[in-house]
Amino acid sequence: MNRSRVQIGLFAIGFGFLLLPLTLPAQARQIITKQITLGNSVAELSLELTGDGRLDVTFDDGVVQVDGQVAGRIDPGDRLEVAWRLLLEGVVTLEDGPLAERLLAWSAPEGLAAEVDSIAQEIEQALQGALESVDTQARTERVEVSVSIETEGDVVGLLERTPEQEAEIRNRIRVELREEIRAEIQEEINRIARRGGDFLGVGGNVFSGLFSLIGKLLLIAVLGLMGGVLVRFGGGHVDTIAETALRSPGRSALVGIAGTLLLMPVWLLGFVGLLISIIGIPLAIAWLPLFWLLVSMAFITGFVSVARSAGEWVADSGFQWTNRIQKSNAIHTVFVGLFVLLLAFLVADVISILPFSAPLTGVLIFTGCVVTVAASQIGFGAVLLTRAGRRRESRYTQNDTGVADQQADSPEGG
Amino acid sequence: MKMGRVLVLLGVNALVAILSPLDAAIVQNSQTVTTSHKLEDTDEKRVSIEFGAGRLVIRPTDEGLLYRLRLRYNEDYFEPVTDLSGNRLHLGVERIRKGFRGIFNWNPSGEGNEFDLELTREVPMDLHVNFGAGSAELDLGGLALTGLEFNTGASKSRIKVSAPNSAQISKAQFNVGAADFQLEQLGSLNAEDIEINAGVGSLEISLDGSWQRDALISIHMGIGSLELHVPEDLGFQLRKNSFLTSLDGVRNLVKEGNAYYSLNWDEADRNVTVDLDGALGSVTVQLIR
């Protein structure tokens, strides 16, 4: 585009701006934003109109405000307030022209007390003043805005900068406010953490964390040794349980949970059942501790089996450091698996030594609990499903065409 | 997987669940705000929605409005936020008072906090929804979405895309803590890359709808069940990299290594790959007509 056309264009825009104040009052206004608030004590209408027009009418606990100025006070629940609330409830779904029409048509109830009546008149005048130039025939419809200004240089940039700057300022205020609030919250957290730290003492944190860590390591050692014994003397059974836990974890978990829920009823019913048979009385006495001993063994066996699967999974994960894990050595994989399953607890113990670590420690302990409970239930379920490893429960095969299929254990495979 | 984030959400929501009866027991000071904004232009907007707990509804509107929001909340604890600055629209509630009361704001008749939002189909938008706990029902059908992020803690959420997205999303993300989460007509979302991070709960994902391009769906699942409904005419591939996860319904799929393919993978007009990374649970694949 040549320079003379640009100049003509700019001149036309400038001339248009000069004429704008003369033309605006004659144009129909539009309602841009409508907000209606209805609460126990509040009934508020807030409108934003084109040309920077605004209307705010608020009934708040007996105080009536029109455009931010107190118009008067009424008794909460007064007839005027009731009529105003009814109006607002009726226009909630209306927009633009129909909204303006309905608001303009509103009139306060007759026979109000003089003071209340003057408030009502002020509201009616405010509505008239704000809405009389709104085209009541206008319906909100699809708006297609298509603006194309052909020009050079920064002219468009200059025209568009004002609203952008305004938006930027609003954003900046928002960001600053947020940062201020965050800083205050952080300070509050630090203050609470300091108080907590003083109460326990840093030394106390170190010792309790270390003792707890040593305890967990001992637990891993004990469970690992038990796992070693189990693998040594019942390798095939442990293999079957581990395989079932790996192949059907969901099913195992469900069976484990169901089994856990049934422990107490089975224990009691077993005891009563043995009692009512004369020959069973001596057995009933033995039943009381023996049952829980067997349950404990089932849980430990299941947990160790899941740990073994976890250890094998780590060995297969392909990380550099996992090369040292001997997958063929079952005891090795059991130990690795136990470390993996209890890792969250171990890390929590180490981190708890550090100051201000309570939230993170809490999250880690929660994670550890979730993992431990899940592994226990899966393991226990797998023990039950396989009758302590005596019955192979899960087997996946692949047929000649490469179509994946499930047998025996799968719900589909029956 | 962003398991840390998910666990924090879980912790918060467990607390919310424990304390919610307290919330119901007290007298609530409910307030309803209805606000709408006329559609003034069709410039792309970044829309962020924040709602703590209650019932969340989002749906499209053709009434010439940018948005219409009906919000019910406890005025003693929250205040509404409706802020349109430039091309950023922020809608939601902000907490103004400490304490757990008012989180759900249930009244004796069982009504609680509610966030009912209608959004225009005319404006392209990058939509971000942060929703804590409760139930969510989103119909994104026909919205012009250029981006989508949906974060929820403990909720029953159903998102459907009842009509095709008229814009294109390069990446859509769903982060779910402990939830019963349903995604329907995902094909109509017109997203190239979809990421779903789920902590605990059940996921039901329907890959129906109109796929306009090939897509990759990455699912990171902690503990729970996943149901995938796959249209028969869609090329489908499931790549499973999971620890303790059972897999059902793969009879009609061809297995190659860790991947399962639909028989029409090479011929289908559109191919969708699901990358599954799960710790514990069950996966069911169901073919639908």
- Left (φ > 0), alpha (ψ -120 to 50) or beta: where does A266 sit? alpha
A21, part of any domain = no
pLDDT at residue B36, rounded to an integer:
94
Q: Does A39 touch chain B (CB under 8 A)?
A: yes
> Do A230 and A134 fall within a single domain?
no
Beta bridge partners of A44: A37, A58
> Do A99 and A119 fall within a single domain?
yes
> Do A186 and A330 fall within a single domain?
no
* C-alpha to C-alpha distance for A349 and B183, rounded to whole angstroms: 40
Domain positions in chain B: 3-213
Q: Which two tokens stand for residue B200?
A: 């605990």
| Cα angle B137-B140-B143, degrees, rounded to a multiple of 5 | 150
B100 or A210, greater pLDDT:
A210
* C-alpha to C-alpha distance for B59 and A151, rounded to whole angstroms: 40
A156, part of any domain = no
Q: Which two tokens stand for residue B148?
A: 């989508």
Region B257-264: mean pLDDT is: 90
A19, part of any domain = no
Q: Which of A170, A249, A363 sits opposite B7 (nearest CB)?
A: A363
* C-alpha to C-alpha distance for A385 and B224, rounded to whole angstroms: 20
A398, part of any domain = yes
Beta-carbon contacts of residue A26 (< 8 Å; ≥ 6 apart): none
Residue in chain A closest to B38 (alpha carbons) equals A32
pLDDT at residue A56, rounded to an integer:
92
> Do A314 and A359 fall within a single domain?
yes
Cα dist from A226 to A217, A218, A220, A300, A345, whole Å: 14, 12, 10, 8, 20
* C-alpha to C-alpha distance for A54 and A129, rounded to whole angstroms: 10
Q: Which two tokens stand for residue A137?
A: 């025939």
Residue B204: is its pLDDT beyond 90? yes
> Do A108 and A229 fall within a single domain?
no
**In B13-124, beta strands by DSSP E:** 30-38, 45-61, 65-74, 78-85, 88-95, 114-120
Residue A155 pLDDT level (bands cut at 50, 70, 90): very low
pLDDT at residue A133, rounded to an integer:
76
What's the pLDDT tens digit per position in B29-84?
788 999 999 998 999 999 999 998 889 999 999 888 999 999 998 888 888 999 99
Residue in chain B closest to A413 (alpha carbons) equals B248
Which A-chain residues 300-359 have CB contacts (< 8 A) with chain B? 309-310, 313
> Do A265 and A342 fall within a single domain?
yes
A1, part of any domain = no
Residue in chain A closest to B32 (alpha carbons) equals A38
A22, part of any domain = no
Q: Which of B3, B8, B282 sits opposite A250 (nearest CB)?
A: B282
> Do A100 and A220 fall within a single domain?
no
Task: Work out the number of other CB atoms within 10 angstroms of the CB of residue B217.
Answer: 21
A17, part of any domain = no
> What is the nearest CA distance from B112 to chain A, expressed in angstroms?
14
> Do A258 and A395 fall within a single domain?
yes
3-state secondary structure of A307: helix
Total number of domains constituting chain A: 3
Cβ within 8 Å, pair B246-A366: no
> Do A167 and A314 fall within a single domain?
no
Among the residues of A2-57, which ranges form H helices? 3-23
Cβ within 8 Å, pair A168-B86: yes
Domain of A170? 161-200
> Do A194 and A289 fall within a single domain?
no
DSSP state of A58: E
* C-alpha to C-alpha distance for B126 and B87, rounded to whole angstroms: 10
Q: Does A245 touch chain B (CB under 8 A)?
A: yes
Cβ within 8 Å, pair B63-A362: no
> Which residue type is seen at B128?
H
What's the pLDDT tens digit per position in A39-73?
888 899 999 888 888 899 999 888 999 998 999 99
What's the pLDDT tens digit per position in A211-255?
778 888 888 888 888 887 887 777 678 888 888 888 888 888 888
Cα dist from B203 to A311, B152, B279, whole Å: 28, 13, 14
Q: Which two tokens stand for residue A316?
A: 């297969």
Which residues of B are less than 8 Å from A378 in CB distance? 244, 280
> Do A97 and A238 fall within a single domain?
no
pLDDT at residue B172, rounded to an integer:
96
Task: Work out the number of other CB atoms within 10 angstroms of the CB of residue B56.
Answer: 24
> Do A214 and A346 fall within a single domain?
yes
Q: Name which of A355, A351, A367, A365 is nearest A189 in CA terms.
A: A355
Residue B153: is its pLDDT beyond 90? no
Angle between helices A79-91 and A96-105 (to 10 degrees): 160
Region A180-196: mean pLDDT is: 67
